[in-house]
C-alpha cells in the first residue's frame, strides 16, 4: 500500500493541478471578454452583439 505521505502528496498535486486549470480557464474567459472576442459563446450560448 502507498504510504500516507504519498497519498497526501498525490491529493495535494491533484488539487493544485485542478485549481491551476480553473485559473487558466478563468483567465482565458476574462481575456476573451476584455478583447471583445466571443470565446464566451463556446461556454455560454449568449446572443452576440452586433459590432
**pLDDT at residue number 30:** 77
Q: How far apart are CA 13 and CA 26, in angstroms?
A: 20
Per-residue pLDDT of the chain (51 residues; tens, 9 = 90+): 567 777 778 888 888 888 888 888 888 877 766 666 555 555 555 555 554
The structure's pTM equals 0.36
Instruction: Write down the pLDDT at residue 23.
Output: 86
pLDDT of residue 34: 63
Q: Helix %, strand %, coil % for the chain, to 5?
A: 70, 0, 30
pLDDT at 5: 74
* pLDDT in the model for residue 33: 65
Amino acid at each position: 500500500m502507498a504510504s500516507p505521505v504519498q497519498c497526501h502528496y498525490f491529493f495535494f498535486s491533484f488539487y493544485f493541478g485542478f485549481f491551476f486549470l480553473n485559473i487558466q480557464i478563468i483567465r482565458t474567459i476574462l481575456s476573451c471578454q476584455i478583447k471583445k472576442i466571443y470565446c464566451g459563446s463556446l461556454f455560454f450560448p449568449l446572443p452576440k452583439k452586433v459590432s
